[in-house]
Amino acid sequence: MTRLPFLANRRLRITLLALMVLLTLVAAAVTHLANVERQSAARLDFSRSPWAIAATEVETLRYGQALELLAYGRRSPEVIEEARRRFDTTWSRVDILKTGPEGRPLLRLPGYPETLAAFDKTLQEQEGLIDRLEAATPEELHAAHKAIDAIIPRLRDAFLMMLTDANYNGLRTSAAHDLLEGRLSFLLTALGSLVVLLFLLLMSEIREARRLLRQSDAMVAVLRDREAELARLHAEATDAQQRAEDANRAKTVFLAHVSHELRTPLHSILGFSETINRESFGPIQPPRYAEYVQYIHQSAEHLSTLVEDLLSLSRIEAKEYTLNEARQDLGAPCRFAADLLRAKAEEAQVTLVLKEPEGPRRVIYAEQRAMRQSVLNLLNNAIKFTPKGGTVTLAWGLNDAGAPQISVTDTGIGISSDDQRVIFDPFFQVDNGLTRQHIGAGLGLPLVKSLMELHGGSVTVQSAPGQGSCFTLTLPKDRLI
């Protein structure tokens, strides 16, 4: 048996075989679709289709009558509501005409799809008028009524045409046959075009592959050059990262040293100012100096807190902070912070509420100082940014996942969504908008976040401007004893 010359190419044989398989699959799919279409056309039930059109015509007439009443000055609320209700009913009837009363397509009459499209477009154009009927002018209402009246004869023609159609009572229509034949012709034409296109694409791919093979050596050389360039850039990036880490480490060491050096004179200032304020060695003369000494003591306390926060953050960043963990009651840091800041809350005329949880006492394994500092910072901020007469609630317990958590909720000024993304950055401060002024360096929340992360936990916030804030400290479940 003589083999055809063009079949000597193995790739070509495989391609032709694949095309034949594809042709068989597509032919099977086309046959299946044709059978489905024939069965669907044979099962079409048009027994309720004319009356669906008739019902739509009646609703359209009622809607047009309501528009006409409004156009002639009858603007009562009842007539306006009737017009809107008729508009909605008419539009729903149009949707039924598109799909049929039972979800089946209606008879494909000549001009019927165009009638529905025009009807739908008219209702869409009048939707804005329906929303403002109270302010609509008579001219607009007359124009809307005229547009609706133009649709009614077309609906009546479709109704009469359907009643007189020879293919009525559930038989397949000639339009269904024509549509089916058109779809089959389109599918067969598309199939032939697909086969030719696939063959041309295959030939093009073969030529392109040969061209790429000829250029492979040049491409390999380019890739080698790119690899060398990437290696150089990687080395530069590694060096830059190392320099950045060295600079950050130097900054951390500098802050730690500065903070340590400031603590000694601060202790002296605090001690001496407190001694003078107590008048341990006699009365202060003149009396105005007593006020100045109190200011000095308050400023020194604030500076001491700032130095302690800087020192803690520096130790955490330098990874030199070691947790001294121990068993403790989950509510212990909350009671400690409340006792310490209750006087401040009373001075600010803010109600401080402790919400004791029901059930057994919860014990956690964490550092006492870190937990106290975190709750103190959150509670201090809540009191600071809550106006007079507000409430700050401190609660603790287990969340829905069974993890221990502590929440501080206030009725203060709230935090915008933009500020919530940066409030845990060092030195960021929210503009409180209150009449009383508060000092702060913006280190409290970053310190809380760092301490919680050391425990494997997190701090989250839920807030909105003018609606207060809720900060929540969440510890891992494995820290619950």
Is the pLDDT at 310 greater than 90? The verdict is no
322: left (phi over 0), alpha (psi -120 to 50) or beta: beta
Higher-pLDDT residue of 338 and 156 is 338
Of the spans 4-8, 237-241, 357-361, 451-455, which averages the highest pLDDT? 451-455
* Distance between CA atoms of residues 163 and 176, nearest Å: 17
Supply the pLDDT for residue 6. Answer: 47
Range scoring the smallest mean pLDDT among 71-75, 254-258, 264-268, 275-279: 254-258
Supply the pLDDT for residue 17. Answer: 66
Supply the pLDDT for residue 397. Answer: 94
Higher-pLDDT residue of 170 and 80 is 80
Is the pLDDT at 302 greater than 60? The verdict is yes
Is the pLDDT at 7 greater than 80? The verdict is no
Grade residue 214 by pLDDT with cuts at 50, 70 and 90. Answer: confident
Supply the pLDDT for residue 374. Answer: 93
Supply the pLDDT for residue 44. Answer: 42
Higher-pLDDT residue of 331 and 137 is 331
Grade residue 124 by pLDDT with cuts at 50, 70 and 90. Answer: confident
Supply the pLDDT for residue 55. Answer: 75
Supply the pLDDT for residue 256. Answer: 63
- The residue-averaged pLDDT of 346-370 equals 92
Q: What percent of the chain has pLDDT over 70?
A: 72
Higher-pLDDT residue of 331 and 269 is 331
Phi, psi angle pair for 328, to nearest 5° = -155, 155
- What would the 3-class secondary structure string for the chain be? CCCCHHHCCHHHHHHHHHHHHHHHHHHHHHHHHHHHHHHHHHCCCCCCHHHHHHHHHHHHHHHHHHHHHHHCCCCCHHHHHHHHHHHHHHHHHHHHHHHCCCCCCCCCCCCHHHHHHHHHHHHHHHHHHHHCHHHCCHHHHHHHHHHHHHHHHHHHHHHHHHHCCCCCCCCCCHHHHHHHHHHHHHHHHHHHHHHHHHHHHHHHHHHHHHHHHHCHHHHHHHHHHHHHHHHHHHHHHHHHHHHHHHHHHHHHHHHHHHHHHHHHHHHHHHHHHHHHHCCCCCCCCCCHHHHHHHHHHHHHHHHHHHHHHHHHHHHHHCCCCCCCEEEEECCHHHHHHHHHHHHHHHHCCCEEEEECCCCCCCEEEEEHHHHHHHHHHHHHHHHHCCCCCCEEEEEEEECCCCCEEEEEEECCCCCCHHHHCCCCCCCCCCCCCCCCCCCCCCCHHHHHHHHHHHCCCEEEEEECCCCCEEEEEECCHHHEC
Grade residue 113 by pLDDT with cuts at 50, 70 and 90. Answer: confident
Supply the pLDDT for residue 175. Answer: 47
Q: What is the mean pLDDT of the chain?
A: 77
Q: What is the pLDDT of residues 403-458, one digit of tens each?
A: 999 999 999 999 988 888 888 877 666 654 443 445 555 678 888 999 999 999 99
Supply the pLDDT for residue 452. Answer: 92
Q: What is the pLDDT of residues 153-181, one digit of tens each?
A: 877 777 666 666 545 433 344 445 555 56
Is the pLDDT at 340 greater than 50? The verdict is yes
Supply the pLDDT for residue 449. Answer: 92
- pTM for this prediction: 0.45
